[in-house]
């Protein structure tokens, strides 16, 4: 049994904010992880952090946890706080689950991650980075997809994100800059299917079964992408259009290629414990890394939990193992 501080970000966005659901959904994950830890009789203190780091500092100093179970994803108003909090835990010299701060900093910056992937010879789509409208470069081919370079959970991605000409590009880049700030990632649109690969240390390093996002045409859904609505608006047309299937119905060669690249990307960014690597196939059917998620949804009904079930790894056992990864003998 260990003393565990279950840390998460308390919702700060108003309920009518367009990105509020991605923040509030974390409360379901907190409940699921708490129940899993309770099964193994850990002593659990729960902390929903608001905008004051002093609360975290004081709680760690008074409760003296053996491990912090880190579910902190950053405030909706300050996404970079995700790795600021991990940095505070480093400063306090307290063990915490999940990826270290260095991996979070790299992965949060999608453009920097893509430069790193390319430098290591790992495949990722052609891209440009836009810091301001006047510096925007035109892509070599169309269509392209426009994304905020510093958000996760598909925030800022909708059907309008895929653009086919200069006019649409300028409009979408301007919209993302105004709403989320710079930089903006303009990436070649890859027409093939999308896949997810979980990489875990449980306790040895391994990949979980590959999941596939299966596209079913729906009214008003032109592009088969995992948008904000497809993740956070159950029953919407975009949700119905992109449904997960695990294990993916693919050949062994592609499965092994996806898992091999996922392991390399995990190690390249310095990930730890658990991460999810997202892929999309290009026109030639070759996998390209979309992004590395160092802080994937650990909810009991989320994609990673689905992969665990297919791999015959009990959810509660996995959650307990993340704690045990950081216990000293």
Give the chain's residues under pLDDT 70.
329
Tokens of 185: 């990632």
Supply the pLDDT for residue 72.
Answer: 95
Residue 18 phi, psi dihedral angles, 5° rounding: -60, -20
Domain with CATH 3.40.50.20 in the chain: 3-97
Could you tell me whether strands 67-70 and 3-9 are parallel, antiparallel, or unpaired per DSSP bridges?
parallel
Alpha carbon distance 269, 109 (integer Å): 12
Supply the pLDDT for residue 52.
Answer: 81
10 Å Cβ neighbour count for 27?
15
Domain with CATH 3.30.470.20 in the chain: 191-324
Supply the pLDDT for residue 250.
Answer: 98
Is the CB of residue 82 less than 8 Å from the CB of residue 73? yes
Domain with CATH 3.30.1490.20 in the chain: 124-188
The CATH homologous superfamily for domain 124-188 is: ATP-grasp fold, A domain (3.30.1490.20)
Supply the pLDDT for residue 4.
Answer: 98
What is the DSSP-derived secondary structure letter of residue 221?
Answer: B
What is the architecture, at CATH level 2, of domain 3-97?
Answer: 3-Layer(aba) Sandwich (3.40)
Alpha carbon distance 114, 147 (integer Å): 13
Q: What is the CATH number of domain 191-324?
A: 3.30.470.20
How much of the chain is in helix, strand and coil states, percent to nearest 5? 40, 20, 40
Supply the pLDDT for residue 271.
Answer: 98
């Amino acid at each position: 049994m260990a003393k565990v501080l279950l840390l998460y970000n308390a919702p700060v966005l108003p309920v009518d904010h367009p990105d509020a659901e991605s923040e509030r959904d974390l409360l379901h994950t907190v409940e699921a992880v708490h129940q899993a830890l309770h099964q193994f009789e850990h002593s659990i203190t729960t902390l929903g952090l608001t905008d004051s780091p002093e609360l975290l500092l004081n709680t760690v100093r008074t409760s003296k946890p053996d491990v912090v179970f880190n579910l902190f994803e950053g405030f909706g108003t300050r996404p970079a706080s995700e790795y600021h909090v991990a940095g505070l835990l480093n400063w306090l010299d307290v063990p915490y689950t999940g990826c270290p701060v260095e991996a979070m900093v790299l992965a949060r910056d999608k453009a920097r991650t893509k430069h790193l992937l390319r430098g290591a010879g790992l495949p990722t789509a052609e891209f440009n980075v836009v810091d301001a409208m006047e510096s925007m470069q035109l892509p070599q081919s169309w269509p392209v997809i426009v994304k905020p370079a510093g958000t996760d959970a598909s925030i800022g991605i909708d059907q309008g994100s895929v653009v086919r000409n200069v006019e649409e590009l300028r409009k979408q880049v301007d919209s993302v800059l105004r709403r989320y700030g710079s930089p903006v990632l303009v990436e070649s649109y890859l027409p093939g299917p999308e896949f997810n690969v979980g990489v875990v240390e449980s306790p040895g390093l391994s990949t979980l079964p590959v999941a596939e996002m299966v596209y079913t045409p729906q009214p008003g859904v032109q592009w088969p992408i995992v948008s904000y609505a497809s993740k956070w608006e159950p029953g919407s047309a975009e949700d119905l259009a992109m449904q997960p299937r695990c294990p993916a119905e693919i050949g062994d060669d592609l499965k092994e290629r996806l898992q091999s690249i996922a392991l390399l990307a995990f190690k390249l960014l310095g990930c730890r414990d658990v991460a999810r690597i997202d892929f999309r196939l290009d026109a030639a059917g070759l996998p390209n890394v979309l992004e590395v998620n160092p802080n994937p949804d650990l909810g009991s009904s989320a994609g990673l939990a689905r992969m665990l079930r297919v791999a015959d790894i009990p959810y509660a056992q996995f959650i307990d193992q993340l704690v045990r990864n950081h216990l000293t003998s």
